Amino acid sequence: MLLSVNNLSVSRGGVSLFKGLNFTLSSGQFISLTGGNGTGKTTLLRSIAGLQPIDEGEILIETDNFIFAGDSNGIKTSLTVSENLRFWSAIFGEKEFEEALEVFHLTKFENRFAGKLSAGQKRRLSLARLMLADKGIWLLDEPTVSLDKKSMEEFSKILKNHLKAGGAAVVATHTDLGLKTHSSNINIEDYRTKSGNLNASAGAFL
Amino acid sequence: MIALLQRDLLLAVRAGGGFGLGVAFFLIVVVLVPLGIGPDMVILSKVSVGVLWVGALLACVLSLDRIFSLDYDDGTLELLLTSPIPLEAVVTIKAFSHWITTGLPLVVVSPILGLLLGLQVSDLKWVVISLLIGTPALSAIGAFGASLTVGIRRGGLLLSLLVLPLYVPTLIFGANVASKGLEDVSNNGALLILTAVTLAAFSILPFASAFVLRINLR
């Protein structure tokens, strides 16, 4: 088992988002997180990544066996595509970046400044970072935002290959990534607290 | 960690992140002083150490908010926090990178500006030594201030208000090292305290900055 979440309660900005959340994640398993805006999908991912404190319960995870990709791309627009990836490759110190360039079809843009890429290309560059680290768990927040249909299908294949290789993923997404086997869904709204319901709905309009 | 330093230096060169900006500001401040108090070289040489130190301090403050804000805005800081590098090391490297792009150029141009303010060539070494030892502390203290204001829109003024009082010990002992050196009086005590301030700033403040950043990134 790579990840175990037991009786988890988390709040954000003083508002309780969800309570009593339990799930486990094993090798080869994919969990999609769904739910309306402001229900706590991102907060759950951030809690698992250690960025957000929890109120109750426990999260059991090997701290050096996950990689987190948030809703921001985390790329430097004044660096080239290859410079961006070379930096993260050096930070993780596990894999070279050339394969990631190829897999995400970024080779022809490798000397282009990231600021000159389209939104979808920037997202692909951001996701290419996942391949630079040899981590078991991918924690992804809306990874397919800005991706076209073809890029989305290709990302789905990359995710499948990761799962086949013994990895696992928890992904907040509204898109069907076509991962039928070993996949499960957690609708965060099922764990929402009453106060969280009211405030999350109000927050969604802000 | 070397990759982070290399990246920050590259960004500073490419995106106007500090190289040249601080030096230009330093130069303007030093050139404006004789215009304000007159061209009397005796008076200028008397105030030169203070002018150089205050100029260096203000030039340093100018680029402090860039230490973390750019990485915060594009999401890189969050990714660095979940990366294998300890956040304390990230803070130390970013403070050191700030010193290379801001403090070190000030040290390099300070002899020229010292001559403009009427200092003798033989006196310049103490100005350079005091700035060389003291300016790293300005970057480490500044990084702590920047971590407190990260995420605050237009937090630059607040950052200056927070950081400038924290610069007082560095300013006092830095200027003291230089002025005593110019008077040929022993400045060993001030030199040791200035060194201690810099070492303490780089060994303690990265932990405080990392603690504050973790809270601000929640």
Interchain CB distance below 8 Å, B84 and A87: no
Residue A24 in domain: yes
Residue A70 in domain: no
- Final residue of a structural domain among A134, A151, A175: A134
- Final residue of a structural domain among A134, A151, A168: A134
What's the total number of domains in chain A?
2
218 residues of chain B, pLDDT tens digit each = 789 999 999 998 887 656 778 888 889 988 898 899 888 888 888 899 999 999 999 999 988 988 999 899 999 999 999 999 999 999 999 999 999 999 999 999 999 999 988 888 988 999 999 999 999 999 999 999 999 999 888 778 899 999 999 999 999 999 999 999 988 888 899 999 999 999 999 999 999 999 999 999 88
Q: Is the same domain home to A82 and A116?
A: yes
Q: Residue with structure tokens 């990246």?
A: B7
Q: Is the same domain home to A143 and A126?
A: no
Q: Which ipTM score applies to this complex?
A: 0.86
Q: Is the same domain home to A121 and A178?
A: no
Domain coverage including residue A92: 75-134
What's the total number of domains in chain B?
1
Going by pLDDT thresholds of 50, 70 and 90, the confidence category of residue A195 is very low
Q: What is the CA radius of gyration of chain A?
A: 17
Domain coverage including residue B181: 2-216
Integer Cα distance of B83 and A75 in angstroms: 15
Among residues B120, B131, B129, B136, the alpha carbon closest in space to that of B51 is found at: B131
Residue B17: per-residue pLDDT: 54
Integer Cα distance of A101 and B87 in angstroms: 28
Q: Do A10 and A183 form a contact (C-beta atoms < 8 A)?
A: no
Going by pLDDT thresholds of 50, 70 and 90, the confidence category of residue A51 is very high
Smallest CA–CA distance, residue B73 to chain A, in Å, is 9
Interchain CB distance below 8 Å, B7 and A76: yes
Q: Is the same domain home to A125 and A155?
A: no
Q: Does B36 touch chain A (CB under 8 A)?
A: no
| Pairs across A and B, CB distance < 8 A | 63
Q: Is the same domain home to A202 and A115?
A: no
Closest-CA residue of chain A to B213: A51
Partner residue facing B74 (CB), from A67, A69, A74: A74
Model confidence at A204: pLDDT above 60: no
Q: Is the same domain home to A123 and A158?
A: no
Interchain CB distance below 8 Å, B79 and A74: yes
Q: Does B78 touch chain A (CB under 8 A)?
A: yes
> Residues B31-35: contacts with CB within 8 Å, 24+ apart?
B31/B116, B33/B117, B34/B116, B34/B117
Q: Is the same domain home to A103 and A14?
A: no
